[in-house]
Amino acid sequence: MKFTDGYWLLREGVTAAHPVEVLDVTATDGALEIHAPTQPIRHRGDLLKGPVVTISAHTPMPDVIGVTFTHFEGEQPRGPQFELHRADVASQVAYDDEYATLTSGSLSLRLSRTAPWRLDFLAGGRTLTSSGPKGMGIMRDTATGAHYLREQLGLGVGTSVYGLGERFGPLVKNGQVVDIWNADGGTATEQAYKNAPFYLTDAGYGVFVDHPGKVSFEVGSESVSRVQFSVESQQLTYYVIHGPTPKDILRKYTALTGRPALPPAWSFGLWLSTSFTTSYDEKTVTSFIEGMRQRELPLSVFHFDCFWMREFNWCDFRWDPRVFPDPEGMLGRLHERGLRVSVWINPYIAQRSPLFAEGKELGHLLRRPDGSVWQWDLWQPGMALVDFTSPAARDWYAGKLGALLDQGVDCFKTDFGERVPVDVAWSDGSDPERMHNYYTYLYNRTVFEVLRKHRGEGEAVVFARSATTGSQKFPVHWGGDCEATYESMAESLRGGLSLGLSGFGYWSHDIGGFEGTPTPALFKRWLAFGLLSSHSRLHGSSSYRVPWLFDEESVDVLRHFTRLKLSLMPYLYEAARTASAQGVPMMRAMVLEFPDDPGCAHLERQYMLGADLLVAPVFSDEGNVTYYCPAGTWTHFLTGETVTGPRWIREHHGFLSVPLLVRPGSVIPVGSVTDRPDYDHADGVTLRVFGLGRGARVTVPVGDVTFTVVREGDTLRASCSDPAAAWTLAAGQRTARAQAGTGFLSLELD
């Protein structure tokens, strides 16, 4: 939201009041309490006028400092609030005549006690960002009576801004206007399904605005040298998080807001869907699964989309008896094939659903202020929403899902959750504006918890579309409704990388695009991208996504890249563990791994898959691709050819190939199984060694086993933590193989 008319003037009808000096500052329990008038105090008469703002600086954990800016303190507390995790921190407060300073770990907030007004955030002897004169402010719209609090933090020369959720525009957010407001807008607009009021920079810090409702960001747009954020409220809290590296910032941000759960290994295999509006029954499903088996296409999860339930009954959580007369038997037959089963759900209850009358009678449906059930006809006729602010409604909804789990369903695709109205009254009194984004958190938490209860710790996984801060705790998330075009494939990747830079560890997308039917060439290019993503799903809107309906080469491409992904599970699952333990995503924007390489700052058509594999999807039928190679000699994983950076590379790739490069000095564990993801990843693992320098030592965790590879002169030695064993490979040899309690281990030098 913009408040100014150029640099000098305010927009018509807007008034502003800014802190201009410090009246007093006190230290209380390791925090600073500041009172700041919005006009100079020249004599006692100036003490009779306001506003005077109250500012609290506090420290929830090391290297994180929060600032709470308040105008009127009499406002009733309004929920919901983000669930934040706090840690003991030995903060320090220091005073002198010029400054008051609060220090948390390596981060300090320095308040200028003399005019002009200034807050500086410092680390390592340098200023990270600052709130200067006329940055923090009380902004009023006299026409509407709206009251906003605004902050502006300085944006240094060359600093790039990332994050703010899954956004489909340019990866670098500088120059963009971003409203944190969940919307069902596809992948081709400024709207987003997954909004997070957090941005990360490549200048050593990130900023989290602790407001679950609408936050309006002007990222170097209203003021080109500042990031502005504003909320319609009497109080605004934000946290500055010091890294110093982007990965460190994500570790600390997710320590504050929650780390992703670790999805089960089986979820990393290939998912196949019925698609959305296609016609299907058990015979159709069986034909797809049998077709995959006959063509030796490994399949891990089969997903039933909307029409597993009867039309106009979404959601009643009952199988349509006309096409699925024996759901328990069918689920059992699918399990006998070694498959897991996912079904589509959402939080909406159509008027025709038997659950509408039940939910209305029990008070579990969201109501208008007059007490009537909120309804509309978009998406499902007469639909209502489950009121997840009510514990009883959450238990009611979870009970319906529990019955499906008892039948044999393994997981849920949690669609929607964005179309949340504000002209309503929540059962717990939550503020409608603050609940709009937060609704998805309660929805997906409810589903995730019922899965964890029924399936056990480590087995819960959802396929969620909507999200906000904290939703990263309930993986996996997918990119929403993209089109069957290369442009949409690219915008989907931008969205996924942006989401990863917002604290989300795992991400997927509809291979081939959701809307429309891809050409065979596009489908094959998207297959390579999809199978080199965190999670991989074949799904569409009005057409099936089984590969033989495109061409026979699509079958070969799917087989090739599915087997490749499954063989990489020892590597990928350790990257997944890192995402869960540290908040560093599996699919990483290049800037996350190479923050000191200016060539990586704007890269958005390639990414790192884990720490050591570079992926550059091909966005053309012809197979021409250009990508950036960072410093060092990198090796094509599929061919063994090498390229040396830093420089741009142009290559041509057939459909069975894609730029997949290994970082120099890496050891990639490759599994011995290529038909399923959930196997003993250490049994028979091959360690492929790439560009390991003399004297280098690399540890490679694989499940409960840790391998150590050391290069001594021209000899490589590998040892295993349990049981003790060792392998030796001279530089002139290709492989060494020895028996160990974990099975066979091979060592390859590339």
Strand runs labelled E in 232-309: 235-242, 270-273, 301-304
Q: Which residue has the tokens 């060792």?
A: 726
Q: Is 612 a catalytic residue?
A: no
**SS3 letters for 434-501?**
HHHHHHHHHHHHHHHHHHHHHHCCCCCCEEECCECCCHHHCCCEECCCCECCHHHHHHHHHHHHHHHC
CA gap 63, 41 in Å, rounded? 34
Angle at 395 between CA 394 and CA 396, to 5 degrees: 90
Query: What's the token pair of residue 373?
Result: 């059930």
CA gap 694, 49 in Å, rounded? 72
Residue (of 86, 87, 463) closest to 263 by Cα position: 463
C-beta pairs of 547-555 under 8 Å, 24+ apart in sequence: 547/295, 547/297, 547/523, 548/291, 548/295, 550/518, 550/520, 550/523, 550/524, 551/520, 553/520, 553/524, 553/655, 554/520, 554/523, 554/524, 554/527, 555/295, 555/297
Angle at 172 between CA 170 and CA 178, to 5 degrees: 75
Check 418, 491, 604, 612 and give the catalytic one: 418
CA gap 620, 638 in Å, rounded? 20
CA distances from 15 to 46, 139, 216, 230, 392 (A): 19, 6, 18, 14, 45
- For residue 408, give the 3-state DSSP assignment: coil
Query: What's the token pair of residue 616?
Result: 């550059």
Residue (of 643, 735, 631, 647) closest to 685 by Cα position: 735
CA gap 509, 286 in Å, rounded? 24
Q: Which secondary structure element, helix H or strand E, spans residue 251, and what is its range? A: helix 246-257
Q: Is 316 a catalytic residue?
A: no
Residue (of 399, 378, 397, 371) closest to 386 by Cα position: 397
Query: What's the token pair of residue 457?
Result: 């710790």
Q: In what order do the strands lie in the sheet with 697-702?
A: 697-702, 705-712, 715-720, 725-730
Q: Which residue has the tokens 């994180």?
A: 64
Give the chain's radius of gyration (CA, Å): 27
> Do 39 and 46 contact (CB within 8 A), yes or no?
yes
CA gap 430, 426 in Å, rounded? 6
**Number of neighbouring beta carbons within 10 Å of residue 218:** 23
Q: Is 651 a catalytic residue?
A: no
**Number of neighbouring beta carbons within 10 Å of residue 588:** 24
CA gap 149, 308 in Å, rounded? 47
Check 151, 218, 415, 678 and give the catalytic one: 415
- For residue 349, give the 3-state DSSP assignment: strand
CA gap 523, 500 in Å, rounded? 24
Query: What's the token pair of residue 54?
Result: 């109250």
- Please give the full DSSP string across 595-637, using - where no structure is assigned: TT-GGGTT--S-EEETTTEEE----SSS-EEEEEEEEEEEEET
Query: What's the token pair of residue 106?
Result: 């390596």
Q: Which residue has the tokens 């942006």?
A: 498
Check 481, 491, 515, 604 and give the catalytic one: 481
The amino acid that residue 533 corresponds to is: S
Torsion 707-712-717-721 (CA) sign: negative
CA distances from 357 to 351, 361, 407 (A): 8, 6, 24
Catalytic residues: 415, 418, 481
